[in-house]
Structure 1
Amino acid sequence: MRIVETEWITLSDGCRLAARLWLPASAAPVPAVLEYLPYRRRDRHRGDDAILHPALADCGYAAIRVDMRGAGDSDGVMNDEYTPQEWRDACEVIGWIASQPWCSGNVGMIGISWSGFNALQIAALRPPALKAIVTACSTDDRFADDMHYMGGALLSDNLQYGATLFTWTPTPPDPAIVGERWKDQWLERLAAMDTPPAARWMSHPTRDAYWRSGSVCENYGAIEAAVLAVGGWADGYTNTVPRLLAGLSAPRKGLIGPWGHAFPHVASPGPRMDFIHYLKRWFDHWLKGEDSGIMDEPMLTYWMQEAQAPRTRYDNRLGHWTAEATWPSPAIAPHTWYLSPQGLQTEPAEVFCRSVCSPATTGLASGEWCPYGSGPDMPGDQREDDAGSCCFDSPPLKATLQLVGQVQVALSLSADRPQALAAVRLNAVAPDGVSIRISYGLLNLCQRDGVDQHQALCPGEEYTVSLALKAAAFEVPVGYRLRLAVSSAYWPLAAPLPWLTTLTLSAGHMQLPVRHNACEAPRLGEAWAPPPLAAQVLVPPERGRLRLSREMGDGDTTLEVVRNLGALRIAETGLRLEALGHEHYRINARDPSDARSEAVRHASFTRGGWRATLDTRSILTCDEQGWQLESTLQAHHGDELCFSRQWRHRFAFFPDNVLLFPYEGEEQ
């Protein structure tokens, strides 16, 4: 293949976007596959690109990686995700690709996470050359299923991912590509950082127009290109694949493995599969018009997880591949279980009264909202979290139970505070007492009537609320019990409120999606990938919850999390890259009023005598009135401080009173 390190794409307004191309050796025009994202093709994302795009070229496609406006070596600035400008630029890029002599005129898109999001969003705009997309680990609903909120409850991932984007949005272009103007571009990007991302997202605590923009579930009919939706049961975005299959009218197919947040040929936990061949068959059908047989296979292929002792990290998950011919599947029917004083039962139960005031540390076994599988970030044994919850157990199962889809839960409850959280988990309890989380859901009880509104609770008043747990596929063995666990805290996955809350339950039920008939899965093959990026690893990548500390006397608990992409010297570009980060979460189990979450990030780029660094710090606390977010950004060129700014934002718990206070500090 022929590799073009930098190809400039000039947009209609004069903005130039930097692209990297992998072109097949064939002289004949071929279809093209685009990945379009801000994660720096020259360095930060170069390793990921190395194990995907050469493979696409080897399959007979022109592979194109474009840095968005304001990212990497491209012109301009970028200060938010999923904007209309981002989409307009992409449509122009697709038109440019289709007009190139090496392109047949048919274009596909592929992406994971950010580029998976915008593949859907751009498909909804229907650029004429775009015929098919692959969207992995993404969402069709930005408020319901992204790293910011879950059931209206603020996630700690809003802080950690906000800190990451806070650091990487204003990174400089490479002087080896753009020349002497690199510093002017860098300063322009730094000056454009008017609001830290985490603060922007916290200023939209309900599903308003900000979140509806870019949520393709608002109009599935806008998408006409064929959609391959890919996910993993360990990933944060488990609801997207079944929802897309049910909502889209365009040709579609779904694939869900046991994986975390990664493409299936490199994901953990395994087993992995031959995703490269699967992509070839998908694009051969839609971009080349060849009958690859892929559309004759079941609509949804997925990994049925089987019970095993829970661990915070797995090499492989027990289970087997299976499939559904269509989705929603006629092989899946709802089975209702009712909450009762005796636990879970299959007949309606009398009204009861059970209260729970969860320790603020309930949730330590939650794992990350979005596990990557490369470190200790999966949910562990749930028994300690169960001890801080109100639990309802079924009798031991007399037959194996296969659950596929989302569990629906309804509860009648009251709270002793005007603001409260309900966290609901469905567990499988082994005969020896080990508790395995099947799925979970959160609900900010102030959004009980819909995530587009926020209404204070009347303490002591009873409400009937409903929530859907995250989609899952899990086989519960004979002899195991089901456990529905309800808690008033889920830390640190959910950002903590500054008080302990008592929930009082009086009734409830859950509907389980029970599968009755098997469907044979297609063969998926053994995983392979092109060789990894040639680089000298200086600091190995590391990600996950590293260390938990408890003060046995006063109840103080701290959790340390690492988020290192690592430090490496990239042979192809002669660049040393550092991408290091960590978080520190602290709370008192009996008094969460001084809880504190802190995220620190460091990025640096070094070649010869040139060195550019960025350092950020983000701190989240709260009191009886609301959240406080303090943010700091500093940038250095060598030893010279180029830019420094601090922000302080305050957000009232009730969004009609959102207050924003910029910090009156040093800005250079």
Structure 2
Amino acid sequence: MTRQTFNRALAAGTCGLLLALGAHAAQDVPGQEVSSAPTRTWQPFWGKRVTGYLKAADGAELRYSVLLPKGDGKFPVLLRYSGYDSGSIGGSAYLADDETFSVDLDKQLLEQGYAVMGVQARGTGCSQGTFDFLGPDYGKDGRAAVEFAAKQGWSNGNVGMFGWSWAGMSQLMTASERPSGLKAIAPGMAMGDARSDSWAPGGVPAPEFVTGWHWYLSQRWAAVKASAESEQDQRCLKQLAQNEVDVKKHALTYQIIRHPLRDEWSAQRSIRDRTHLIQVPVLSMQAWQDEAVMAREGYYHETINPEQLWLVQSNGPHDLYESRHYRKKLQAFFDHFVKGLDNGFDKLPHVEIWQETASSGARDDLHGLNEPAKPGWTITRERYPVAVTPLTFALGAKGSLVEGGKPSGEPDQYNYPVAGPDVNTYEVDNAWGEQKPGWKDGSLAYTSAPLTRDLVTYGPGSADLWLSTPLGPDMDVQVTLTQLLPDGQEVYVQRGWLRLSARALDTEKSTAVRPWLLDTPDSLLPLEPDEPVLGRVELRPFSHTFRAGSRLRIWIDAPGRTGGYGFDTYALAARSTLLHDAEHPSQLVLGELAGVKVPVPQPACDSLLKQPCRPDPLK
């Protein structure tokens, strides 16, 4: 489905149009341009396909589909569990490459002797039950699926789980239920705390992605329908029709309106609160500029036994899990922990930080972009968490950003709310958008002197800003971190957001480089007119190399569209003030990775995935 078709569908408000299209789309990317038709088709590459229904604990029947390797025997099983079209793998839509995830990855795993099983979440596709995104039953259903797979005649009893996004979250929830037979999981690009990671980053509501995601979900069920029609599966079609009606009663768009603040309902969907229960090995992948779930992941990794966690992190998009470079590690992980091969995987460094990941593939074909993607170079660390040294840049007079310096100068003012430029949106991906009207008076920029050394950063960052407004009681802040190259090009690095009324911190979880909001109704602190307050804006996790001669910059403005995210900004206009004097020490704090020798020169502009360049707007 093209971006243009998606946008026309949204404008027309016609869900049926999306259901009728059924063209290939990237996972979790509503409207992403891939091509007007699938770029690949497949012939069956498996020995046998088995479909049916398994019973959840409450009796609801969940649709599954299993692809078995060629030849006889019992096989280790790799399970993918989601609410998209996972219960229909191997059907006609799947063979037409109209599949949420990666047919090519499934084929690779089958050729290595794994059975690949897809399970459909309750209330989605043609599974029974009530749709409840990340609700309490989700992990319990996953446990039932794993234990079912372990007991089948075609299974040798050893089960792993794989996939990203919804299929990544399902692994974390399932593994926390500790099903028998589960040997390892490999989640990628997951939300560990849905509210803080996605629905309201920094307390700022972000409804655009959730709205687009529901359109995307309808399109993925169109693939389920296409396969069921070709197989004349009347049971599936009947249940699908019922689910299409019922899902409207439980749509995430409606739920977020009903639960605008953190409450018991949203707390139930904080996967991080249960990941400490996971006992199996975990191979996790994160993409720093992830346009769908962002990169925060609720910091669930810090709840897992570090001896059981392997982590791959990279700049790039949501579907980077498809990278063949990553697949080598994925397969070795499963070979060791699911097949039981003594291949030395357990001796590898536990953290692999890809630097300056790029792709030789065409950017209008998402498989073709992600599959050849690989890092320019790599940093490894023996264990997670990775130690960093906090590095402070003081905001100063005349838009200066002074490493290790002291705040100075008179306050600066800007018109609020003028949104910062769009970055990496579905309409114009891997790119900066145009500056918004009034941007020169509606934003502030602070720029460092040229660096005298290479600086390698890692982890979240914190923009500690003293702000005031003459009106109140609230305002939203966006901070954009960039790299300014010697040739005048500006490279996007990362963003963060904060609704100032949500600024109260959890002091036990906050660090110099990571503010952690309490984010509860009782902790809200409205602004008083012209009274400065300290708001710590969390820059989402990232790793970036700032080479000697380049400069750091932060932009401060109102939230602009980023990836799939459009924000519901607090709209009362005002002339806001940013202070940076001795009594109001505004600063940027980043985590520095010490002892890293940068082995390659600065990559060409626009070569890095999801890190676009633009000419310096201030030049």
TM range (shorter): 0.7 to 0.9
Residue 93 and residue 401 in structure 1: after superposition, are their counterparts in 2 closer, same or farther (change >3 A)? same
The 5 A counterparts of 1:625-644 are: none
Q: Any idea what the Cα deviations from partners look like across 1:82-124, whole Å, max 9, x if unmatched? A: 1222222221111111111222222111121111111111111
Partner of 1:510: 588
Deviation (angstroms), 1:446: 1.8
Q: Secondary structure at the match of 1:193?
A: helix
Residue 283 and residue 419 in structure 1: after superposition, are their counterparts in 2 closer, same or farther (change >3 A)? same
Q: Distance in 2 between matches of 1:226 and 1:306?
A: 26
The answer to whether 1:283 aligns with 2:283 is no
Partner of 2:385: 328
Q: Secondary structure at the match of 2:49?
A: strand
Amino acid at match of 1:478: A
Amino acid at match of 1:430: L
Partner of 2:79: 34
Compare 119-128 and 483-492 and name the one that shifted more: 483-492
Deviation (angstroms), 1:51: 1.9
Q: Secondary structure at the match of 2:249?
A: coil
Q: Distance in 1 between matches of 2:311 and 2:210?
A: 27
Q: Which has the higher helix share?
A: 2
Partner of 2:176: 124
The 5 A counterparts of 1:467-616 are: 467-491=537-561, 493-507=566-580, 508-518=586-596
- The answer to whether the Cα contact below 8 Å between 1:135 and 1:227 also exists between their aligned partners in 2 is yes
Ranges in structure 2 where 5+ consecutive residues have no aligned partner? 1-45, 505-517, 581-585, 600-609, 611-619
Partner of 1:462: 532
Residue 249 and residue 200 in structure 1: after superposition, are their counterparts in 2 closer, same or farther (change >3 A)? same
Deviation (angstroms), 1:254: 0.8
The answer to whether 1:68 aligns with 2:124 is no
Residue 383 and residue 327 in structure 1: after superposition, are their counterparts in 2 closer, same or farther (change >3 A)? farther
Partner of 1:452: 520
Q: Secondary structure at the match of 2:424?
A: coil
- The answer to whether the Cα contact below 8 Å between 2:456 and 2:596 also exists between their aligned partners in 1 is no
Q: Distance in 1 between matches of 2:357 and 2:446?
A: 22
2:394 pairs with 338, 342, 346, which one? 338
Amino acid at match of 2:145: V
Q: Distance in 1 between matches of 2:152 and 2:50?
A: 17
1:389 pairs with 434, 443, 447, which one? 443
The 5 A counterparts of 1:416-435 are: 416-435=471-490
Relative contact order higher in (CA < 8 Å, ≥ 6 apart): 2
- The answer to whether the Cα contact below 8 Å between 1:299 and 1:324 also exists between their aligned partners in 2 is yes
- The answer to whether the Cα contact below 8 Å between 2:160 and 2:185 also exists between their aligned partners in 1 is yes
Q: Secondary structure at the match of 1:483?
A: strand
Amino acid at match of 2:590: L
Deviation (angstroms), 1:439: 1.2
Compare 44-53 and 347-356 and name the one that shifted more: 44-53
Amino acid at match of 1:437: Y
Deviation (angstroms), 1:169: 7.0
- The answer to whether the Cα contact below 8 Å between 1:410 and 1:467 also exists between their aligned partners in 2 is yes
Deviation (angstroms), 1:447: 0.9
Partner of 1:354: 412
Deviation (angstroms), 1:317: 8.7
2:321 pairs with 253, 259, 264, which one? 264
Residue 139 and residue 11 in structure 1: after superposition, are their counterparts in 2 closer, same or farther (change >3 A)? closer
Residue 217 and residue 490 in structure 1: after superposition, are their counterparts in 2 closer, same or farther (change >3 A)? same
1:151 pairs with 191, 196, 202, which one? 202
The 5 A counterparts of 1:106-117 are: 106-117=158-169
The answer to whether 1:198 aligns with 2:253 is yes
Compare 207-216 and 240-249 and name the one that shifted more: 240-249
Deviation (angstroms), 1:239: 3.4
- The answer to whether the Cα contact below 8 Å between 1:402 and 1:473 also exists between their aligned partners in 2 is yes
The answer to whether 1:93 aligns with 2:145 is yes
Residue 483 and residue 520 in structure 1: after superposition, are their counterparts in 2 closer, same or farther (change >3 A)? closer
Q: Distance in 2 between matches of 1:293 and 1:118?
A: 28
- The answer to whether the Cα contact below 8 Å between 2:502 and 2:525 also exists between their aligned partners in 1 is yes
Query: What root-mean-square deviation, in Å, do the aligned CA atoms of Structure 1 and Structure 2 show?
Result: 3.3
Residue 348 and residue 297 in structure 1: after superposition, are their counterparts in 2 closer, same or farther (change >3 A)? same
Amino acid at match of 1:228: L
Q: Secondary structure at the match of 2:356?
A: strand
2:355 pairs with 304, 308, 312, which one? 304
Amino acid at match of 1:390: L
- The answer to whether the Cα contact below 8 Å between 2:315 and 2:357 also exists between their aligned partners in 1 is no
Q: Any idea what the Cα deviations from partners look like across 1:611-648, whole Å, max 9, x if unmatched? A: xxxxxxxxxxxxxxxxxxxxxxxxxxxxxxxxxxxxxx
Q: Any idea what the Cα deviations from partners look like across 1:402-445, whole Å, max 9, x if unmatched? A: 11111122111112331210111111112343222211100011
Q: Distance in 2 between matches of 1:303 and 1:114?
A: 23
Residue 395 and residue 496 in structure 1: after superposition, are their counterparts in 2 closer, same or farther (change >3 A)? same
Compare 113-122 and 244-253 and name the one that shifted more: 244-253
The answer to whether 1:366 aligns with 2:423 is yes
Deviation (angstroms), 1:518: 3.1
Q: Distance in 2 between matches of 1:121 and 1:11?
A: 15
Amino acid at match of 2:338: L
The answer to whether 1:404 aligns with 2:458 is yes
The 5 A counterparts of 1:77-92 are: 77-78=130-131, 80-92=132-144
Amino acid at match of 1:505: L
- The answer to whether the Cα contact below 8 Å between 2:358 and 2:374 also exists between their aligned partners in 1 is no
Q: Secondary structure at the match of 1:151?
A: helix
Residue 276 and residue 435 in structure 1: after superposition, are their counterparts in 2 closer, same or farther (change >3 A)? closer
The answer to whether 1:436 aligns with 2:491 is yes
Q: Distance in 2 between matches of 1:465 and 1:226?
A: 38
Q: Secondary structure at the match of 2:405?
A: coil
Residue 167 and residue 28 in structure 1: after superposition, are their counterparts in 2 closer, same or farther (change >3 A)? closer
- The answer to whether the Cα contact below 8 Å between 1:382 and 1:436 also exists between their aligned partners in 2 is no
TM-score under structure 2 normalisation?
A: 0.74
Deviation (angstroms), 1:468: 1.6
Q: Distance in 2 between matches of 1:12 and 1:245?
A: 29
Deviation (angstroms), 1:37: 1.0
Residue 485 and residue 365 in structure 1: after superposition, are their counterparts in 2 closer, same or farther (change >3 A)? same
- The answer to whether the Cα contact below 8 Å between 2:124 and 2:243 also exists between their aligned partners in 1 is no
Deviation (angstroms), 1:296: 1.6
Q: Secondary structure at the match of 2:324?
A: coil
